[in-house]
Amino acid sequence: MIATLIAGCARLVTGATARWLVEPRSERQRVYFANHASHADFVTIWAALPPPQRARTRPVAAADYWTTGRIKRYLAVRVFRALLIDRSGSDGARRATEQMVGALRDGDSLIIFPEGTRGDGREIAPFKSGLYHLAIAAPDAELVPVLLENLNRVLPKGETIPVPVIARVTFGAPLAPAPGEARDALLGRARAAVAGLREAD
C-alpha cells in the first residue's frame, strides 16, 4: 500500500514517463543499470517498474545519504528495500560488490549506477567494475540499460526539495557478456548502450 502510494507520488513529482524497449513484465532476474544525476534516480526507476517486478527489485543506494534521518531510513529500508552500501575505507568497493552479488544470489533484481557518483546529467562517466563482477557472478540475470533524462533538473545536486519537471526513463534491450569478453570491453559496451538510448526511437 505504502509502496504503491510512494510510486505514484514519484511519478507525479518527476512527471517521468517510461519508455520500454524490452518486455517490462518479464519474470527474469535483472540488473537495471543507469546513468546517475540525482538522488531521485533510483526512486524514479523503481516507480516505473510494474508492481510485480518492483516488489522483487532492490535499489542499490548510498548508506551515508539514506540513513540520515528517520524518514529517509524508513523509506529506504521498509518501502524501497534498498541495498544500502557503505563504500568508505580502502575495501569499500569490494564490500559493496559482495553485497550486490549476495542479493542477486538471493534472487533479487537490482537497480545500480555504475558511474559510482552523480554526474551533470549530460555526460555519462566511465563505468566502474562492479557491473562486470555482477554479470560474471550472476550470468542468468539480464543486464538492462536505463537512461534517465532531466532527473538532474528535478532534484539537482545539493537540493532537497524536488522541482516538477518532465522527465523520461528509457529501458533498453538487455545485453550479456560475450564469451571471454574483457572487463573494459563489457563496461564500454554497457556505457554505450545507456548513451545510445538517447537516439532510440
Is 201 a domain residue?
Answer: no
Residue 184 and residue 127: Cα distance in Å, rounded?
9
Is 15 a domain residue?
Answer: yes
Number of domains in the chain: 1
Most confident of 28-32, 72-76, 197-201: 28-32
Is 79 a domain residue?
Answer: yes
Model pLDDT, residue 119: 65
User: Given a cut of 70, is residue 171 above it in pLDDT?
Assistant: yes
Is 74 a domain residue?
Answer: yes
CB 170 within 8 A of CB 147: yes
Model pLDDT, residue 5: 72
User: Given a cut of 60, is residue 156 above it in pLDDT?
Assistant: no
Model pLDDT, residue 153: 57
Model pLDDT, residue 1: 61
Residue 64 and residue 131: Cα distance in Å, rounded?
21
CB 153 within 8 A of CB 71: no
CB 46 within 8 A of CB 54: yes
User: Given a cut of 90, is residue 181 above it in pLDDT?
Assistant: yes
Model pLDDT, residue 6: 67
Quote the radius of gyration of the chain (alpha carbons, Å): 16
Q: Could you list the residue range(s) of the whole structural domain that residue 152 is in?
A: 2-196
Is 72 a domain residue?
Answer: yes
Residue pointed to by grid coordinates 555519462: 124
Is 125 a domain residue?
Answer: yes
| CATH number of the domain residue 44 falls in | 3.40.1130.10
